[in-house]
Structure 1
Amino acid sequence: MPQSLDASAVRAWCSLALEALGREREEIDAINVYPVADGDTGTNLYLTVESATQAVEAVFAAHETGDSAPAVTDVIRAMAHGALIGARGNSGTILAQLLRGMAERTGGGDDLAGALRRAAELAREAVAHPVEGTILTVARAAADAAAGASASASPDAVRAAYAGACAALEATPGQLAVLDRAGVVDAGGRGLVTVLGALVQAVSGEAPHAPGPAHTRTARPVPQPAVATEPCADGGPAFEVIYLLEADDEAVAHLRTRLDGLGDSLVVVGGDGLWNVHVHVDDAGAAVEAGVEAGRPYRIRITHFDTAAGPDPDPREQTQRAVVAVVQGEGLADLCRQAGATTVLARPGEPPASGELVEAIRRAHAREVVLLPNETVLRHTAAAAAEQARAEGVRVALIPTRSAVQGIAALAVHAPDRRFDEDVVAMTAAAGATRYAELAVAERQSWTSAGVCQAGDVLGLIDGDVAVIGKDLTDTALTLLDRMLSSGGELVTLVLGGTAPEGLSARLESHVREGYLAVDTVAYEGGDRVTPLLIGVE
């Protein structure tokens, strides 16, 4: 990178970009017509840069007590990581990938032009179906202009990149018909110009001239774009789904293919095991389930597009909804019944058949049913039951809960007075944001992902895989709980089985209070049929 972009300059860039987006957020929101006219591009970019800024400030705070200063590579990587974990919306997700590309080439010693080129390439690769006349076009134009500057290691290259981005932004209505019809430039591209303008100021000390008006003055002929465009907001998918995902590259490749078949506006950014997934779909639950199959999704955000909401349903239907939950143990069954659910009590080692689930759906006497299987092995059984019930005229939504604690989280946000889709979305998001673990006792010697266990050993499983092997149930529970909270959490749910030792709940709750000040704990008695301990972390 150029010497002019040192650690302090990156810090200033973040601060200036956040300040500029704060001023221009409403203007950018107002011209947001693509890919969905939901008026939030400016807000999403602001929140993305805010997260990036917080990450950068954390790096500088870590050096306040010492004599050393952070390296520019550490600072810009923190900026990219902060943007990744805080990315909002389509444009915010693409901006995060642009910053990742810049950070990648910063470590390799590239100049600004090389960094911008890599950023534009990575961003385009992250979008399932790139469209010209968008933030991608503006990013590529900025890189091309920087490469053509006479001194690529000076503020001149930054100014050239900004000028190239402004020119590309002004041309976007001629590349994308929906922009031309609305008489606006691309909102995402407008936001990127603002971010690049902040970079100019951070490097040169001078604020650049503001770009032209966001609304075009005259209509222009619309040529065919360089690549096929995606459908626009009208009649498009009903939901925006965003989540962070811990998964390997191969799993993400399969995820891209699956999500591309579910909806549009697909953007998957990140790498090194951490990804930010963005897609517009009609079936939000299926998009989250695809993430669950690929790895561990969390920080799930699902937004219903008002433009696709359609007319309000018949008010009489809002009270004709039920939840059917599969549970083990009378304690869990009582808890779910108190929340208004119809329960199916599973017998140890004998999962219910699809016919039992269909009968429970019938017993609920509802026109709309949310089905919570609460077990991974019941996924296909529950899907078959849902299909049969749908054939009988019941509207069924299957939420792929894999543990009772995920079912509890879903029930906690259940609101039958909401529109059915909105209720299902909220429950799916709550379940997907809950990591789960359990304690079990090994029946025989066997190989596990944590090593060899002996009969009688206490096994701690996280998301179905053995993570801890111990001798004492309480000690193993404490170790398992620390593993769960190592990646963060706000609420711990404990479900105690009949074989749990006396005082285990109090010991775990005390451990959380003493070691994790911002985390709340709630405990329930599950009953004799439940494994000694279930843990949920939201």
Structure 2
Amino acid sequence: MAQVPQTFLDALAVRTWCGLSLGALGRAREEIDAINVYPVADGDTGTNLYMTVESAAGAVEAVFAGYELGEEVPTLADAVRAMAHGALIGARGNSGTILAQLLRGMAHVLTEGDATHIDADALRLALRHAADAARQAVAHPVEGTVLSVAAAAADAADAAEGDCGAVARAAYEGACKALAATPGQLAALERAGVVDAGGRGLVAVLGALVEVFTGETPTAFDLYVGGPGQAGHARVDAVSDARAENCAELAGGPAFEVIYLLEAGDTAVDRLRTRLDALGDSLVVVGGDGLWNVHVHVDDAGAAVEAGIEAGRPYRIRITHFRAGDVHTGGERPPRERVQRAVVAVVPGEGLAGLYTEAGATTVLARPGEPPASGELVDAVRRAHAREVVLLPNDADLRHTAAAAAEQVRAEGIRVALIPTRSAVQGISALAVHQPDRRFDEDVVQMTSAAGATRYAEVVVAERQSWTMAGICQAGDVLGLIDGDVAVIGSDVTATAETVLDRMLQAGGEMVTLVLGDEAPDGVADRLEARVRESYLAVDTVVYRGGRQGAPLLIGVE
């Protein structure tokens, strides 16, 4: 269905743009991941861009949710600030960080004054400021990247006449032409026969902007880049060769990608840029007004983090190892022999990480508000050092990330099965029936069946007022979610958990799994165990300590 066009950019148009951009990147994610050969061929640019825009879209939705019960609507400035802030705190990878700065650059123009909407002149200025801001954020700009594509889009917009739709289309077509030219600007792209992955993502975002204003999805990309299956998409053998060459170059280059948010002043950040530039490459520092997103590739990850500590308060620190295999010091050691099969699982808390590790799984810790990037999952699969790997994402929102990681390691010759577990309790059920000595397909089927037979719930505290499937909740209310949907709204964690458990057991069950977070009230496990014992015969209960897992309580019923 065609999008209803808008003649100007207001808060609703910003919301629509975020949603359309997320959809466009979701459709193009695998293609963009596949053509990712620069600056590091780690095959996650599409996923990183998707997650960056997902964070931006979520922030805009939160602003609208705050107004949905009243007659007022968000202002343009409200929506644009939320979009830029969401992208900043959720930026992933080199290209995601640059995209966040592009959106922030636009926001600098679009939030001036009290205008409810902006016209074509302001849109031109916003696109120009975005391109300039992104280039300034990169320590050593390189042509043939998303920076070139953004600059070309701004140039084309400057020359365009007409309304916002005409400006957006001109920017999109200028970006497409620049994207098609990127292989001639970067040798790595030319060898692989692909266009720049980050630039391809920006084209998708600009295409969504065209759709906002015209109601039509543009098709110029196929005209300029060769269409599906040609120059605009990866030639698999060439990409594999380019990645192999890139990985060989990594042996003498930075080993780690370090990303963190930083609270610091401008002067401290200037010193930080100088220090990080001396430590590594691919340095991008974006943000302002006391909050920054820092991205750099280094050999000494500890030194990069220490530099952030000296500058201010770093948090949400992510360190991803680029190289496959073990790193040894103090003499040579023969390569460790691969095991036949391993399980890699994402877990929400330290307690569950210990439980999964004891059961033989390699774990990736997902801290509250900090879902892992695909590079972290790839690194975990490599650490498992197995010929066959079962991947448990344990979160519905990680399906794209996990799928991207699986595709990357399959290209390295590792057999991977992705079981779409949506909660850590489903992962526990899958792990309980895991038998590494049976055939891989049979093991995957049994684990998938066990996970699918486990209903899952969580008890959380609402952060804001919003509509739910169970009615309107207020900030501070206790929510009981069953299979991802809000089913109960209460005021007490224990009482809400009892109601949730009763509803789940009404459909039957043989085993209840309780995972207690650090914020779970004292006695809640005893109360729920007693409830099961008294009201549901032949149902067993097992309790685990999950640690800092984001939710006071997770519940599973098999």
**Is 1:202 the equivalent of 2:202?**
no
Instruction: Report the Cα distance in structure 2 between the residues aligned to 1:18 and 1:216, rounded to whole angstroms.
Output: 24
1:260 maps to a residue whose letter is D
Instruction: Report the Cα distance in structure 2 between the residues aligned to 1:252 and 1:91, rounded to whole angstroms.
Output: 20
**Do the aligned partners of residues 316 and 192 (structure 1) sit closer, same or farther apart at CA in structure 2, a change above 3 Å counting?**
closer
Q: C-alpha displacement at 1:261, in angstroms? A: 0.4
SS of 2:283's equivalent in the other structure is strand
Q: C-alpha displacement at 1:236, in angstroms? A: 2.2
Tell me what 2:33 maps to.
Answer: 29
Tell me what 2:545 maps to.
Answer: none
Choose the corresponding residue for 1:520, options 518, 521, 525.
Answer: 518
**Do the aligned partners of residues 114 and 236 (structure 1) sit closer, same or farther apart at CA in structure 2, a change above 3 Å counting?**
same
Q: C-alpha displacement at 1:519, in angstroms? A: 6.7
Tell me what 1:169 maps to.
Answer: 179
SS of 1:306's equivalent in the other structure is coil
**Do the aligned partners of residues 217 and 42 (structure 1) sit closer, same or farther apart at CA in structure 2, a change above 3 Å counting?**
closer
Choose the corresponding residue for 2:195, options 179, 185, 195.
Answer: 185
Q: C-alpha displacement at 1:217, in angstroms? A: 8.5
Structure with max Cα Rg: 1
**Is 1:75 the equivalent of 2:55?**
no
State the Cα deviation string for residues 91-119 of structure 1 (Å, max 9, x = none).
00000000000000002366111000000
Instruction: Report the Cα distance in structure 2 between the residues aligned to 1:19 and 1:70, rounded to whole angstroms.
Output: 23
**Is 1:314 the equivalent of 2:348?**
no
Instruction: Report the Cα distance in structure 2 between the residues aligned to 1:418 and 1:161, rounded to whole angstroms.
Output: 44
2:259 maps to a residue whose letter is I
Matched-pair contact (CA < 8 Å) for 1:238–1:304: yes
Q: C-alpha displacement at 1:9, in angstroms? A: 1.0
State the Cα deviation string for residues 71-98 of structure 1 (Å, max 9, x = none).
1121011001000000000000000000
**Do the aligned partners of residues 60 and 173 (structure 1) sit closer, same or farther apart at CA in structure 2, a change above 3 Å counting?**
same
State the Cα deviation string for residues 444-503 of structure 1 (Å, max 9, x = none).
xxxxxxxxxxxxxxxxxxxxxxxxxxxxxxxxxxxxxxxxxxxxxxxxxxxxxxxxxxxx
Q: C-alpha displacement at 1:182, in angstroms? A: 1.1
Tell me what 1:438 maps to.
Answer: none
1:268 maps to a residue whose letter is V
SS of 1:287's equivalent in the other structure is helix
SS of 2:320's equivalent in the other structure is strand
Gaps of 5+ in 1: 219-230, 319-338, 340-414, 420-512, 523-535
Matched-pair contact (CA < 8 Å) for 1:238–1:308: no
Matched-pair contact (CA < 8 Å) for 1:263–1:281: yes
Instruction: Report the Cα distance in structure 2 between the residues aligned to 1:90 and 1:308, rounded to whole angstroms.
Output: 23
SS of 2:20's equivalent in the other structure is helix
**Do the aligned partners of residues 264 and 71 (structure 1) sit closer, same or farther apart at CA in structure 2, a change above 3 Å counting?**
same
**Is 1:241 the equivalent of 2:258?**
yes
1:173 maps to a residue whose letter is P
Instruction: Report the Cα distance in structure 2 between the residues aligned to 1:308 and 1:199, rounded to whole angstroms.
Output: 42
Tell me what 2:300 maps to.
Answer: 283
2:56 maps to a residue whose letter is A
**Do the aligned partners of residues 309 and 111 (structure 1) sit closer, same or farther apart at CA in structure 2, a change above 3 Å counting?**
farther
SS of 1:34's equivalent in the other structure is coil
1:208 maps to a residue whose letter is P
Matched-pair contact (CA < 8 Å) for 1:44–1:88: yes
- State which drifts further: 21-30 or 305-314: 305-314
Q: C-alpha displacement at 1:210, in angstroms? A: 5.2
Matched-pair contact (CA < 8 Å) for 1:238–1:309: no
Choose the corresponding residue for 1:125, options 129, 136, 140.
Answer: 136
Choose the corresponding residue for 2:291, options 267, 274, 278.
Answer: 274
Matched-pair contact (CA < 8 Å) for 1:94–1:267: yes
Aligned length: 322
Choose the corresponding residue for 1:159, options 164, 169, 175.
Answer: 169
Q: C-alpha displacement at 1:183, in angstroms? A: 0.8
**Do the aligned partners of residues 200 and 292 (structure 1) sit closer, same or farther apart at CA in structure 2, a change above 3 Å counting?**
same
SS of 2:9's equivalent in the other structure is coil
Matched-pair contact (CA < 8 Å) for 1:246–1:275: yes
Q: C-alpha displacement at 1:142, in angstroms? A: 0.4
Choose the corresponding residue for 2:231, options 198, 216, 230.
Answer: 216
Choose the corresponding residue for 2:90, options 76, 86, 91.
Answer: 86
State the Cα deviation string for residues 2-49 of structure 1 (Å, max 9, x = none).
961111111111111111111110100011011001000000000000
Q: C-alpha displacement at 1:314, in angstroms? A: 3.2
1:62 maps to a residue whose letter is G
**Do the aligned partners of residues 310 and 194 (structure 1) sit closer, same or farther apart at CA in structure 2, a change above 3 Å counting?**
farther
Matched-pair contact (CA < 8 Å) for 1:184–1:216: yes
Matched-pair contact (CA < 8 Å) for 1:18–1:49: yes
Instruction: Report the Cα distance in structure 1 between the residues aligned to 2:134 and 2:166, rounded to whole angstroms.
Output: 24
Scaled by the length of structure 2, what TM-score is found? 0.53
CA RMSD of aligned residues (A): 3.4
**Do the aligned partners of residues 235 and 111 (structure 1) sit closer, same or farther apart at CA in structure 2, a change above 3 Å counting?**
same
State the Cα deviation string for residues 336-365 of structure 1 (Å, max 9, x = none).
xxx9xxxxxxxxxxxxxxxxxxxxxxxxxx
Tell me what 1:344 maps to.
Answer: none
Aligned-pair identity (%): 68
Matched-pair contact (CA < 8 Å) for 1:264–1:281: yes
Equivalent residue runs for 1:327-476 within 5 Å: none
Choose the corresponding residue for 1:12, options 12, 16, 34.
Answer: 16
State the Cα deviation string for residues 394-432 of structure 1 (Å, max 9, x = none).
xxxxxxxxxxxxxxxxxxxxx9x979xxxxxxxxxxxxx
**Do the aligned partners of residues 107 and 537 (structure 1) sit closer, same or farther apart at CA in structure 2, a change above 3 Å counting?**
same
**Do the aligned partners of residues 519 and 6 (structure 1) sit closer, same or farther apart at CA in structure 2, a change above 3 Å counting?**
farther
Choose the corresponding residue for 1:95, options 96, 99, 103.
Answer: 99
Q: C-alpha displacement at 1:537, in angstroms? A: 12
Tell me what 2:42 maps to.
Answer: 38
Matched-pair contact (CA < 8 Å) for 2:102–2:134: yes
**Do the aligned partners of residues 279 and 309 (structure 1) sit closer, same or farther apart at CA in structure 2, a change above 3 Å counting?**
farther
Tell me what 1:364 maps to.
Answer: none
State the Cα deviation string for residues 247-274 of structure 1 (Å, max 9, x = none).
0000000000000000000000000000
SS of 1:111's equivalent in the other structure is helix
Instruction: Report the Cα distance in structure 2 between the residues aligned to 1:149 and 1:25, rounded to whole angstroms.
Output: 30
Tell me what 2:313 maps to.
Answer: 296
Tell me what 1:112 maps to.
Answer: 123
SS of 1:237's equivalent in the other structure is coil
Instruction: Report the Cα distance in structure 2 between the residues aligned to 1:18 and 1:3, rounded to whole angstroms.
Output: 21
Matched-pair contact (CA < 8 Å) for 1:35–1:232: no
**Is 1:60 the equivalent of 2:60?**
no
Instruction: Report the Cα distance in structure 2 between the residues aligned to 1:296 and 1:519, rounded to whole angstroms.
Output: 26
Q: C-alpha displacement at 1:311, in angstroms? A: 8.2
Matched-pair contact (CA < 8 Å) for 1:11–1:53: yes
- State which drifts further: 106-115 or 138-147: 106-115
**Do the aligned partners of residues 112 and 307 (structure 1) sit closer, same or farther apart at CA in structure 2, a change above 3 Å counting?**
farther
Q: C-alpha displacement at 1:521, in angstroms? A: 6.0
SS of 2:69's equivalent in the other structure is coil
Instruction: Report the Cα distance in structure 2 between the residues aligned to 1:302 and 1:197, rounded to whole angstroms.
Output: 32
Matched-pair contact (CA < 8 Å) for 2:15–2:79: yes
Instruction: Report the Cα distance in structure 2 between the residues aligned to 1:311 and 1:170, rounded to whole angstroms.
Output: 42
Gaps of 5+ in 2: 1-5, 113-117, 234-247, 338-353, 355-379, 385-492, 498-515, 521-547, 551-558
**Is 1:144 the equivalent of 2:155?**
yes
1:276 maps to a residue whose letter is N
Instruction: Report the Cα distance in structure 1 between the residues aligned to 2:251 and 2:131, rounded to whole angstroms.
Output: 28
State the Cα deviation string for residues 278-327 of structure 1 (Å, max 9, x = none).
00001111101110110000001110113586689737999xxxxxxxxx
Instruction: Report the Cα distance in structure 1 between the residues aligned to 2:277 and 2:124, rounded to whole angstroms.
Output: 32
Tell me what 2:435 maps to.
Answer: none
Instruction: Report the Cα distance in structure 2 between the residues aligned to 1:264 and 1:169, rounded to whole angstroms.
Output: 23
Instruction: Report the Cα distance in structure 1 between the residues aligned to 2:249 and 2:212, rounded to whole angstroms.
Output: 36
Instruction: Report the Cα distance in structure 1 between the residues aligned to 2:280 and 2:40, rounded to whole angstroms.
Output: 13
